[in-house]
């Protein structure tokens, strides 16, 4: 080995633990150095463009929105770009299906412009704003249009993954139209009959030129073809981790009507004393709630209800009162507060004032020493969400932080909002998927309980006074 | 009508809350095992010879067992070899060979009987029926059998037309089969190709239309395309996800623990300390070793704990931190020595020795929890190619158990000494293991199971197998 070709012996860099996230990072002169990659879900080097394909009323927008919500929840910055919306901004008033006739030159021009405008915004999002996944929601029913998109992606260094929805079941299509098309801005001035008729004609405009993704002609593309709302899937050339996760997710969702009930355990002994964490049993009021919950569930008359709890005593005690089988999930355990377990907020302020302040500065990413963060919780809960998607009627009896994470998934709340979502004791949230979102009904079962919700105080600075820190601590015994 | 609320007690080993005194498990409403499926599932392979059916069967079975779903393979070829002691040549498989047909049908029938036995008497949950099953008629027999018994059926078909892949298959696994002990390579290849031809005439692949009521996955050309039909439940969904993530590209996985840590030296478990001076030496040696291996596109993974990250830092390459790779959480026993655990928690210490896999530390984890936590890591390892995982003793045991198909009983006692790299290379149906001790001294952290695991044992008996430390 020549002397000019010295083997570079890496001098191991000093490590420092980031005070907020408790991540060990290399540092120089006490300052964190270039960021070493944390395990991010999206283990891909380049952004991904997801492109929907399919005739109108095949669930493309439903899938786009749902997938975007899921990816954002697991921490992959994702945004959807709906070409229909661009068209509505361009053509202020929708007259009729004639706009979509394949021989309508002017219509075609406008529609092409809209698609290009959307792609432009995609480029802005992925290359400039740091987005990781963009969902391009349009019919994209011709090979020509798809080729344009593939060229665009190649030029910009994006991976492309197509999601095609194929459905011939007239019942499903009719239901789609009723659920989401009638309420569209396009049809504000039509009655139901007229709207349906017009929309059917609109679909017809696309049918003749529709070139579905083809096993042979499109064998070099990466895609999933979803047939008849998930009865069958054709998956071609999955390139990387994120595409694999997207396929898995799409194969687990369904549209069978059902409801998900979320609630916390009944009030616990620790709740009453204002202590966080731990593994105590229910207070007398908590036990009363459990009984009420049992009656409530019976009255709801839910078909084939599954009941899930954590592995902590208080949720199990609550479930026991229902008198039905239940499943214990360790993944549903409350956030681990590490060294702060079983302390009251007053004690945390006294013993760990710095930690207490850091938590208020970034409650989502803050990790308790030897404990977890909300961000960790989300990762832990992902298999629960996946199974919730597979299931139908489920009652999840869990904990405050856990319930916030699950709720944020269903209601599309950001990481900033998530840790402050209100999930009071003795209140059941009934979530029912409707159109593109989720209807929430909140049912308070009329059994008194302490409030455990601590708002973000005004002063989050580490130099703040104890009173300022404890300003928003809820009352306890 | 008010439900009487029984008191809950926490089972001492698993730390699971159950109603009553914990004895009447039969009455328990709360299951703490994930409910993968309500009824037994038969996985039925479909495909011409040399399409990877046995490879998939074995790998899938290994995965399912590792995640806690009791699974067994039933390979029809083996049944046939037991009946027809000596294999002569491909003529046995000719479709007009009446006598052979009779034998083959009898074998299938016996295999199905064994499957029923596995489900009813041995608490099996999944049975993988590994055979060609290339005719609709044979598949019909299986479906009727399953329907009668109340089993779910999921077909896995492997379709491949690439002659290179098929020949590679034959070279890797057929030539060494007991069938071809007395053949030379050339002859074996010729005979096997004729064997495949015997099946081709009557092969009816699963059809999108005609078989639309069946649950199946069709794998094309070793995973470039998949057709998935009617996934019925959770376990089938997991199986599909797994199959879609595995590949056959040659690669190696390197497993190593962090360098010796400060707490290792003191005989303390858990914690989050840095490397000792020996540990730092190991990190440098590891860097040299890795360079020497000249690995293409190596990915390096660590946990979130200081000692693995410090080790990775010495490599001078990018690495990814996984919280899921953190060492087992010893709960209230964190940072204690075994002697201290014996002194302060003698009952816990004994319970751990009684069932080290399922034992959960108070406010901590069990090996069983660890496996559950590591499942996404395994899934990603399957997707990846060359990877070096720098982790911890219990974690490494779990990962190793997956690759080497070790049982839950063996897993917690697998030897994973400090300063030793294990190189795992997939080979035929299994995994080749090479062990590299990088010649940097370190303490031993392996505690064998002592002879006396009874709660009433004396401290000396409990501490008999504790390795030396400062």
| Tens digit of each residue's pLDDT (9 = 90 or more) over B48-84 | 999 999 999 999 999 999 999 999 999 999 999 999 9
Q: B305, B336 in Cβ contact below 8 A?
A: no
**Residue A323: left (phi > 0), alpha (psi -120 to 50), or beta?**
left
Please state, in angstroms and rounded to a whole number, the distance separating the CA atoms of residues B108 and B111.
5
The token pair at A366 is 């803050």
Residue with tokens 């002569």: B88
Q: B309, B321 in Cβ contact below 8 A?
A: yes
Please state, in angstroms and rounded to a whole number, the distance separating the CA atoms of residues B412 and B398.
8
Please state, in angstroms and rounded to a whole number, the distance separating the CA atoms of residues B288 and B284.
6
Per residue in A242-273, pLDDT (tens digit) is 999 999 999 999 999 999 999 999 999 999 99
B110 is in an annotated binding site: no
Q: A124, A62 in Cβ contact below 8 A?
A: no
Q: Is A293 an 8 Å CB contact of chain B?
A: no
**What does chain B come to in residues?**
470
C-alpha R_g of chain A: 26
Q: What is the pLDDT of residue A32?
A: 62
Q: What is the pLDDT of residue B30?
A: 67
Q: What is the pLDDT of residue B458?
A: 96
Q: What is the pLDDT of residue A82?
A: 97
Which of A298, A330, A336 best probes binding to B when mutated, by most B CB atoms within 10 angstroms?
Answer: A330
Out of A321, A326, A341, the one facing B5 most closely (by C-beta) is: A321
B360 is in an annotated binding site: no
DSSP-derived 3-state class of residue B399: helix
Strands (E), B166-292: 216-220, 225-229, 253-257
Please state, in angstroms and rounded to a whole number, the distance separating the CA atoms of residues A263 and A425.
8
Please state, in angstroms and rounded to a whole number, the distance separating the CA atoms of residues A451 and A476.
8
Distance from CA of B213 to the nearest CA of A (A): 10
Answer yes or no: A468 catalytic: no
What fold does the segment set B41-244 form as a domain?
A: Rossmann fold (3.40.50)
Confidence tier at A422 by pLDDT (50, 70, 90): very high
Q: What is the pLDDT of residue A9?
A: 53
B195-202 contacts at long range (C-beta below 8 A, 24 or more positions apart): B195/B49, B195/B90, B195/B93, B196/B48, B196/B49, B196/B50, B196/B166, B198/B90, B198/B93, B198/B94, B198/B95, B199/B48, B199/B49, B199/B93, B199/B132, B199/B134, B200/B48, B201/B95, B202/B95, B202/B134, B202/B135
- Whole-Å CA distances, A184 to A79, A141, A189, A192, B109: 21, 21, 10, 12, 59
Q: B420, B286 in Cβ contact below 8 A?
A: no
Sign of the CA dihedral with A247 first, then A253, A254, and A255 last: negative
The superfamily CATH assigns to domain B253-463 is: Phosphoglycerate mutase-like (3.40.50.1240)
Per residue in B197-214, pLDDT (tens digit) is 999 989 999 999 999 999
Which of the following is catalytic: A265, A355, A372, A399? A265
The token pair at A10 is 């890496």
Q: What is the pLDDT of residue A41?
A: 42
Q: Is B210 an 8 Å CB contact of chain A?
A: no
- Domain B41-244 matches domain B253-463 at the CATH topology level: yes
What are the φ and ψ backbone dihedral angles of A451, each rounded to 5 degrees?
-90, 130
B138-141 contacts at long range (C-beta below 8 A, 24 or more positions apart): B138/B108, B139/B44, B139/B46, B141/B108
Please state, in angstroms and rounded to a whole number, the distance separating the CA atoms of residues A416 and A98.
44
Q: Is A316 an 8 Å CB contact of chain B?
A: yes
- Mean pLDDT for A446-471 is 96
B259 is in an annotated binding site: yes
Degrees to nearest 5, angle at CA B391 with A40 and B278: 130
Strand partners, A28: A31
The token pair at B216 is 């199946």
CB count within 10 Å of CB B251 equals 18
Answer yes or no: A334 catalytic: yes
Which of B225, B249, B294, B371 best probes binding to A when mutated, by most A CB atoms within 10 angstroms?
Answer: B225
A residues 251-280 closer than 8 Å to B (CB): 251-252, 279
Per residue in A327-375, pLDDT (tens digit) is 999 999 999 999 999 999 999 999 999 999 999 999 999 999 999 999 9
Dihedral of the alpha carbons of B408, B409, B410, B416, in degrees to the nearest 10: 70
Which of the following is catalytic: A80, A288, A334, A375? A334
Per residue in A39-70, pLDDT (tens digit) is 444 445 799 999 999 999 999 999 999 999 99
Out of A252, A291, A328, the one facing B16 most closely (by C-beta) is: A328
Please state, in angstroms and rounded to a whole number, the distance separating the CA atoms of residues A266 and A270.
11
Q: What is the pLDDT of residue B85?
A: 87
Strand partners, A133: A48, A78
Strands A326-328 vs B30-31: parallel, antiparallel or unpaired: parallel
Distance from CA of B304 to the nearest CA of A (A): 7
Where do the domains of chain B lie?
41-244, 253-463
Which of A36, A241, A253, A333 best probes binding to B when mutated, by most B CB atoms within 10 angstroms?
Answer: A36
- Mean pLDDT for A229-249 is 96
Q: What is the pLDDT of residue A25?
A: 85
Residues from chain B contacting residue A251 (CB–CB below 8 Å): 228, 231, 237, 240-241
Out of A244, A311, A370, the one facing B32 most closely (by C-beta) is: A311
Element of type H or E holding B153: strand B152-159
Element of type H or E holding B240: helix B234-243
Question: Is pLDDT at B339 greater than 60 in this prediction?
Answer: yes
Closest B-chain CA to A319: B30
Neighbour-count burial of B248, counting CB atoms closer than 10 A to its CB (0-12 exposed, 13-18 middle, 19+ buried): middle
- Listing DSSP states for A132-173 in one string gives SEEEEES---SHHHHHHHHHHHHHHT-EEEEEEEE---HHHH
Q: Is B234 an 8 Å CB contact of chain A?
A: yes
Q: Is A17 an 8 Å CB contact of chain B?
A: yes
Question: Under an 8 A CB cutoff, do B3 and A291 touch?
Answer: yes
Per residue in B120-178, pLDDT (tens digit) is 999 999 999 999 999 999 999 999 999 999 999 999 999 999 999 998 889 888 888 88
Per residue in B398-455, pLDDT (tens digit) is 999 999 999 999 999 999 999 999 999 998 889 999 999 999 999 999 999 999 999 9
B residues 382-411 closer than 8 Å to A (CB): 383
Q: What is the pTM of this model?
A: 0.94
CB count within 10 Å of CB A154 equals 11
Widest pairwise Cα distance in chain B: 79
B234 is in an annotated binding site: no
- Whole-Å CA distances, B182 to A176, B77, B177: 65, 18, 10
DSSP-derived 3-state class of residue B122: coil
Q: Is A234 an 8 Å CB contact of chain B?
A: yes
Q: What is the pLDDT of residue B82?
A: 93
Please state, in angstroms and rounded to a whole number, the distance separating the CA atoms of residues B448 and B465.
6
**How much helix, strand and coil, in percent to the nearest 5, is found in chain B?**
40, 15, 40
Please state, in angstroms and rounded to a whole number, the distance separating the CA atoms of residues A247 and A239.
11
Name the nearest CA neighbour of B224 among A51, A239, A242. A239
Domains defined for chain A, CATH in brackets: 48-251 (3.40.50.300), 260-470 (3.40.50.1240)
Question: Under an 8 A CB cutoff, do B226 and A10 touch?
Answer: no
Name the nearest CA neighbour of B13 among B397, B366, B385, B437. B366
- Whole-Å CA distances, B37 to A105, A309, B69, B345: 56, 18, 10, 38
Q: Please state, rounded to an integer, the average pLDDT across all residues of chain B.
A: 94
Per residue in A140-149, pLDDT (tens digit) is 999 999 999 9
């Amino acid at each position: 080995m020549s002397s000019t070709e010295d083997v570079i012996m890496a001098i191991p860099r000093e490590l420092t633990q980031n005070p907020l996230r408790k991540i060990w990072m290399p540092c120089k002169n006490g300052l964190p150095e270039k960021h070493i990659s944390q395990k991010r879900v999206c283990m891909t080097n380049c952004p991904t463009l997801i492109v929907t394909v399919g005739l109108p009323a095949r669930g493309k927008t439903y899938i786009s929105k749902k997938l975007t919500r899921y990816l954002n929840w697991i921490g992959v910055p994702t945004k959807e770009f709906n070409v229909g919306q661009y068209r509505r901004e361009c053509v202020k008033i929708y007259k009729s299906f004639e706009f979509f006739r394949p021989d309508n030159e002017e219509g075609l021009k406008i529609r092409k412009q809209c698609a290009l405008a959307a792609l432009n915004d995609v480029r802005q999002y992925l290359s400039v704003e740091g987005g990781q996944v963009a969902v391009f929601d349009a019919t994209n029913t011709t090979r020509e249009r798809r080729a344009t998109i593939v060229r665009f992606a190649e030029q910009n260094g994006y991976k492309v993954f197509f999601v095609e929805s194929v459905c011939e079941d007239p019942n499903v299509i009719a239901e789609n139209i009723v659920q989401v098309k009638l309420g569209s801005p396009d049809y504000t001035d039509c009655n139901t009959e007229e709207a349906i008729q017009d929309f059917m004609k609109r679909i017809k405009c696309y049918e003749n030129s529709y070139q579905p993704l083809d096993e042979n002609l499109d064998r070099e593309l990466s895609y999933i073809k979803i047939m008849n709302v998930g009865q069958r899937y054709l998956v071609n050339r999955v390139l990387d981790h994120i595409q694999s996760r997207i396929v898995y997710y799409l194969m687990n969702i369904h549209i069978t009507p059902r409801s998900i009930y979320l609630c916390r355990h009944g009030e616990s002994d620790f709740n009453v004393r204002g202590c966080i964490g731990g593994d105590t049993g229910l207070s007398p009021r908590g036990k009363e709630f459990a009984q009420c919950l049992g009656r409530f569930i019976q009255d709801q008359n839910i078909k084939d209800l599954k009941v899930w709890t954590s592995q902590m005593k208080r949720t199990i005690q609550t479930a026991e009162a229902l008198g039905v089988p239940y499943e214990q999930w360790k993944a549903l355990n409350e956030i681990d507060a590490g060294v702060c377990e079983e302390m009251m907020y007053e004690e945390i302020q006294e013993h760990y004032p710095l930690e207490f302040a850091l938590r208020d500065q970034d409650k989502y990413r803050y990790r308790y020493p030897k404990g977890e963060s909300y961000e960790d919780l989300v990762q832990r809960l992902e298999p629960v969400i996946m199974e919730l998607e597979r299931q139908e009627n489920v009652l999840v009896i869990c904990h405050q932080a856990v319930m916030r994470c699950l709720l944020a998934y269903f209601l599309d709340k950001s990481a900033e909002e998530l840790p402050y979502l209100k999930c009071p004791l003795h209140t059941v949230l009934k979530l029912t998927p409707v159109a593109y979102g989720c209807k929430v009904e909140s049912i308070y079962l009329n059994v008194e309980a302490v409030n455990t919700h601590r708002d973000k105080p005004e002063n989050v600075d580490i130099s703040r006074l104890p009173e300022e820190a404890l300003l928003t601590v809820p009352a306890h015994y | 009508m008010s439900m009487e609320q029984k008191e809950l007690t926490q089972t001492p080993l698993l730390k699971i809350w159950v109603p009553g005194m914990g004895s009447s498990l039969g009455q328990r409403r709360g299951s703490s095992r994930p409910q993968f499926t309500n009824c037994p599932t038969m996985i039925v392979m479909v495909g011409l010879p040399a399409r990877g059916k046995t490879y998939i069967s074995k790998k899938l079975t290994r995965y399912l067992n590792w995640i806690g779903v009791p699974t067994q393979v039933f390979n029809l070829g083996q049944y046939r070899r037991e009946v027809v002691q000596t294999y002569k040549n491909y003529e046995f498989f000719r479709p007009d060979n009446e006598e052979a047909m009779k034998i083959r049908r009898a074998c299938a029938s016996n295999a199905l009987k064994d499957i029923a036995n596995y489900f009813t008497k041995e608490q099996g949950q999944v049975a993988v029926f590994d055979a060609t099953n290339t005719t609709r008629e044979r598949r019909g027999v299986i479906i009727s059998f399953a329907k009668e018994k109340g089993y779910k059926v999921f077909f896995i078909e492997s379709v491949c037309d690439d002659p290179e892949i098929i020949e590679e298959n034959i070279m890797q696994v057929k030539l060494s089969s007991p069938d071809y002990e007395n053949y030379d390579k050339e002859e074996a290849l010729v005979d096997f190709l004729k064997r495949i031809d015997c099946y081709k005439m009557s092969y009816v692949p699963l059809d999108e239309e005609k078989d639309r009521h069946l649950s199946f996955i069709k794998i094309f050309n070793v995973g470039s395309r998949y057709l998935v039909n009617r996934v019925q439940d959770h376990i089938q969904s997991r199986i599909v996800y797994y199959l879609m993530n595995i590949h056959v590209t040659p690669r190696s996985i390197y497993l190593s623990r962090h360098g010796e840590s400060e707490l290792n030296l003191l005989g303390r478990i858990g914690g989050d300390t840095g490397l000792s001076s020996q540990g730092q030496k190991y990190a440098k040696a590891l860097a040299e070793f890795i360079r020497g291996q000249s690995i293409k596109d190596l990915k390096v993974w660590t946990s979130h704990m200081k000692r693995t990250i410090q080790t990775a830092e010495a490599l001078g390459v990018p690495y990814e931190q996984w919280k899921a790779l953190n060492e087992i959480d010893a709960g209230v026993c964190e940072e204690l020595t075994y002697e201290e655990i014996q002194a302060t928690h003698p009952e816990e210490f004994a319970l751990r020795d009684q069932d080290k896999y399922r034992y959960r530390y108070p406010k901590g984890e069990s090996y069983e929890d660890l496996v559950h936590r590591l499942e996404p890591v395994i899934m990603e390892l399957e997707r990846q190619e060359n990877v070096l995982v720098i982790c911890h003793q219990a974690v490494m045991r779990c990962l190793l158990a997956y690759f080497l198909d070790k049982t839950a009983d063996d897993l917690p006692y697998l030897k994973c000494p400090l300063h030793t790299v294990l190189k795992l290379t997939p080979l035929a149906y299994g995994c080749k293991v090479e062990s590299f001790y990088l010649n940097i001294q370190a303490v031993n952290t392996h505690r064998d199971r002592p002879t006396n695991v009874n709660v009433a044992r004396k401290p000396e008996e409990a501490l008999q197998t504790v390795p030396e430390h400062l």
